[in-house]
């Protein structure tokens, strides 16, 4: 039976409350490094495939994003909004998550570890559990309610 582990990166400086606008380079805190070590120790065998976000904290972990930014974004209830350059809309994000699931199902490996971010893990879990047919303001709220 295939086993896929979705692993949230260890605590980052932003998760710990430090201001940091360079999202891709936000480092892990000492606690995050310890969390990454504990995740590594939890494996009984080496995964056949390891996938990691290119953000440094996910690579180093190879806890939740700052909720305040997410709350403002979600309160708008418009899945087509793009906050600023370098970001994506909720609609684009969900399309990416669907494509990820498709690519994952095409892989032959049976033991897969995916290091990512809380919102990505939540999106994948939401797509699997709720199987939404469209993405609109209601499904956006539903995703937020399911958030892990």
Report pLDDT for 145: 76
Report pLDDT for 68: 37
Write down the architecture of domain 3-146 according to CATH: 3-Layer(aba) Sandwich (3.40)
Question: What sign does the dihedral 61-68-146-99 (CA atoms) show?
Answer: negative
Asked if residue 50 has pLDDT above 70, the reply is: yes
Report pLDDT for 106: 95
Number of Cβ atoms within 10 Å of the Cβ of 65: 18
Report pLDDT for 101: 93
Q: Dig out the tokens for 104 from the structure.
A: 């994952």
Domain boundaries, the chain: 3-146
Q: What is the pLDDT of residues 87-130, one digit of tens each?
A: 688 888 889 899 999 999 999 999 898 888 778 888 898 899 99
């Amino acid at each position: 039976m295939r086993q896929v582990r979705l692993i949230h990166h260890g605590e980052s400086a932003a998760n710990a409350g430090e201001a940091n606008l360079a999202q891709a380079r936000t480092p892990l805190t000492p606690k995050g490094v310890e969390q990454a070590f504990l995740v590594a120790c939890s494996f009984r065998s080496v995964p056949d495939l390891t996938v990691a976000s290119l953000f440094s904290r996910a690579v180093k972990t190879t806890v939740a994003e700052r909720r305040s930014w997410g709350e403002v974004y979600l309160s708008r209830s418009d899945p087509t909004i793009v906050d600023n350059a370098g970001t994506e809309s909720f609609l684009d994000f969900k399309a990416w998550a669907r494509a990820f699931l498709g690519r994952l199902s095409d892989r032959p490996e049976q033991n897969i570890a995916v290091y990512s971010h809380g919102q990505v893990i939540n999106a994948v879990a939401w797509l699997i559990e709720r199987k939404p047919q469209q993405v609109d303001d209601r499904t956006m709220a539903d995703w937020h309610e399911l958030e892990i």
